[in-house]
Amino acid sequence: MVSTTLHHHPPRSLSRFLSSSTTTKSRSFHSKPTLCSSQPITDKPPSSTSSPPQSQILSIRHSLLSRHVTATQLAESYLTRLKLTEPHLKSFLHVSDQVLNEAQSLDHQIERNENIGPLAGVLVGVKDNICTMDMPSTAGSKVLENYRPPFDATAVKRFKELGAIVVGKTNLDEFGMGSTTEASAFQVTANPWDVSRVPGGSSGGSAAAVSAGQCVVSLGSDTGGSVRQPASFCGVVGLKPTYGRVSRYGLMAYASSLDVIGCFGSSVADAGILLTAISGYDRLDATSSKREVPDYTSQFISTELLDSKPLKGLKIGLIRETLDNGVDIGIKSAVLGAVSHLEELGCTLSEVSLPSFSLGLPAYYILASSESSSNLSRYDGVRYGNQATADELNALYGDSRATGFGPEVKMRILMGTYGLSAGYYDAYYKRAQQVRTLIQKSFKTALDEYDILISPAAPSAAYKIGEKKNDPLAMYAGDIMTVNVNLAGLPALVLPCGFVEGGAAGLPVGLQMIGAAFDEEKLLRVGHIFEQTLQGCRFIPPLIADCDAQ
């Protein structure tokens, strides 16, 4: 049995990490002053290379209501950028042909002085395992090729009711099973910071689309880090809400006890605004929470109103196990730089040990594979999925799955079926559930003492396409920073905090902030202040500058 005792040290106990190899200052990279992905397309770029990120959503609303720009002009600008960047990135599996029609309809509403929703004119990318009416929803799999749901997922329905426009469906690892978006049945998505590298996964298409300014915000799904890891790789904000905060109705199931719909934005404010829009109880999802949804936007305080120590009194724990062996030196340096910045903002920082942390990865893959084995059994060519031609029923099942599923999905189904089989259930599935309980208790104990826990979002920055495709264990190890949060059902926010060497302009590094259940408000408040006060870094990929110059 692994002890769940919490070990903590005095606030200045981080010295063991501060060796000469990790204290080097992180490089600051600045794009030439071109169009910033954290601003509306119609606005001029900021004059300072260290200008803090602003909310695109709020800027778009202001521009529309002041008649400074029309929704059609905004939509055309984003679609133009998407057309320029998409051949390099391949973020989207499908782009809606109704974007301009919906934008024109919105312009007519404004002309008639009708009220418009808070997300009016905001272009949203939707991961292709989230159902959208009259638009393909394939989960990145041949088994659902050309499937068009007759309904919208609850999250999609809610943001559309507030005036947002679906720009298209983004690429993903098939059924969300992967960490690089290379396991899509249709195409491989590239990272906007360096197109020879992966954007992360499985929500790589959604992260790359926001990073490259192809849409304003996007939805992803997070089963073991599939929002947070690509957010780190692509230099954007990724928010995984508490399990039950956002309805899963319309999200194609991978592992039902772990799956959540999450948000991407180029700023904490945009991610928080999108979360406010999609959160809340849904009678169509028995696992959705009836807790009242706060207005997360109330946490976004202007920097002019902040005092010199805006986070004074906040207790933050740096998870010791996340900076041990296996984490790149550049990642440690960037995270420790973020630690110093948080201390400057008034936080009290201590090192905290979660003894069961290292057990999360094997437990996660047993549980997720087991649940996927059950969930994906419905894709048999009869109930769901494309049907193969066969003379006998068992052959029809087998051929439909053999031609419909890719190798990663088949491998995880086999792993899960083995873990659930008679004679192995107690040794694998039951034991993994016991480890899950230990992890939940460990996090609860830590979060009873600390307001927030922090860690890197991934042990490395984005790696080369194909580098780990044939080494699944190495790829799975990249999820070690994120899977525990899903096992515990907690909220987590990832935001860019620095850079490491790589590519033409460096590669972004994400800082993960973990909060108590349903405490997204605190994460957003701290993340927003951190982001607004971070100096010397603008997270704008070179691809934007290259395409805007055309």
- Give catalytic residues, as residue numbers: 127, 202, 226
- What size, in residues, is the chain? 550
Q: Counting Cβ atoms within 10 Å, is residue 47 exposed (0-12), middle (13-18) or buried (19+)? A: exposed
| Residue 230: closest CA among 28, 461, 408 | 461
Return d(Cα 215, Cα 209) in angstroms, integer: 6
Q: Can you spell out the DSSP letters for 40-64?
A: -TTSPPPSSTTPPP--HHHHHHHHH
Return d(Cα 483, Cα 432) in angstroms, integer: 13
Which amino acid is located at 72 in the chain?
T
Q: What contacts 24+ positions apart, CB below 8 Å, involve 16-20?
A: 17/323, 17/332, 17/336, 18/336
Phi, psi of 169 (to 5 degrees): -110, 130
Return d(Cα 289, Cα 308) in angstroms, integer: 37
**Contact of 403 with 388, CB cutoff 8 Å:** yes
**Contact of 518 with 242, CB cutoff 8 Å:** yes
CB atoms within 10 A of CB 123: 30
CA angle 190, 149, 202 (to 5 degrees): 25
SS3 347: coil
439: Cβ contacts below 8 Å, ≥ 6 apart: 354, 356, 357, 359, 360, 363, 484, 487, 488
Task: Cite the DSSP H helix spans in 169-220.
Answer: 204-211
**Contact of 451 with 316, CB cutoff 8 Å:** yes
| Start-to-end Cα distance in the chain | 61
**Contact of 428 with 435, CB cutoff 8 Å:** no
Task: Cite the DSSP H helix spans in 140-189.
Answer: 154-161
Return d(Cα 532, Cα 518) in angstroms, integer: 24
